[in-house]
Chain A
Amino acid sequence: MELAFYVAGAVAVLSTVLMLSRLNVVHALLYLILSLLGVAVVFYLLGAPFVAALEVIVYAGAIMVLFVFVVMMLNLGGHATRTERQWLTPGIWTGPIVLAGILIIEVVYLVRGAAASSSTGAIEPKQVGIALFGPYLIGVELASMLLLAGLVGAYHLGSHEATKPEIQHDADTHEGRADVSGDLVLAGTNQSARTT
């Protein structure tokens, strides 16, 4: 149990250091996903299985997919497949594969041994839920408001690809954006684009 904890922590720290020292974004993303998985195994060994599952699902599953999606979206071109083939040469993915193999062996060992050794000192998801919706209910409300603000902000930033010449002559070409004067942010950009 102790050894498994130290191995998982070493994998997490090593993959984080390798992530920070990469020069290519996709290579760094591979190591970052591996670091998150290593931290998830550490959480499971610390007696927090709910948080470990959430780490894998939300961090490594959702946020990293967002990162990969943006990276793949940023270089859409004729040379995109060639660069992707350059990114995934065998010398690149052996490092993450080796570290992920260590983690998989460790998880299999833990799952096989979990039936024999009852997990002592684990904080069950039931306690977390009771604490979350009991004294921390106002925090849940604030988190929901924060997520709503993030949703609206991401939609506003990502919906219109506001390049400067498009904004300058959008009053006569795009009828859909004729009500720009009511939008404070767009009005500000319009003014700044006019002054520059």
Chain B
Amino acid sequence: MFVLMSLEVMLNAAGLAFVVAGSRWHQADGQVMFLFILAMAAAEVAVGLALVLQIYHRFKSLDVDAPGEMKG
């Protein structure tokens, strides 16, 4: 769960950098890139939360090391 939330923070920081650069050079491209990052974050969060639910149903815990039995 915290992995996904930290991922959100990182994507948000990347989008902030894009918007700041677009505002610096007065181009709309930075905001367009932020829109793409937004769409990507939405898709990624949907899949990630579905994975979290699956892991919780299988292992009864939210530990990231719980599904460590899958080797190779």
A13 to chain B, nearest CB (A): 10
In the complex, residue of chain A having the shortest beta-carbon distance to the beta carbon of B54: A157
Main secondary structure of the interface of B (DSSP, over half): helix
B 1-60 contacts with A by CB, 8 A: 1-2, 4-6, 8-9, 12, 16, 19-20, 22-23, 26-32, 34-36, 38-47, 49-54, 56-58
Q: Is the CB of B47 within 8 A of A150?
A: yes
Give the chain B neighbours of A46 by CB distance below 8 A.
19-20, 23
> Contacts A25-B1, A71-B1; is A157 near B26 (CB within 8 Å)?
no
A95 at the interface (CB under 8 A from B): no
Q: Is the CB of B43 within 8 A of A150?
A: yes
Q: Is the CB of A143 within 8 A of B19?
A: no
| Residues of chain B at interface, number, CB under 8 A | 43
Q: Is the CB of A63 within 8 A of B16?
A: no
Set B5, B20, B38, B50: member contacting A32, Cβ < 8 A: B5
A149 at the interface (CB under 8 A from B): yes
A100 at the interface (CB under 8 A from B): no
Q: Is the CB of B16 within 8 A of A121?
A: no
A39 at the interface (CB under 8 A from B): yes
Contact size range, A = 35 or more
Interface centre among B6, B42, B57 (most CB of A within 10 A): B42
Give the chain A neighbours of B38 by CB distance below 8 A.
54-55, 58-59
Leading 8 A-B pairs by shortest Cβ distance: A150-B43, A157-B50, A131-B28, A154-B46, A143-B39, A158-B50, A127-B28, A154-B50
* Given A20-B9, A132-B32, A153-B46; 8 other pairs, CB 8 A cutoff: A43-B19, A62-B42, A63-B45, A66-B46, A67-B45, A74-B53, A147-B43, A150-B46
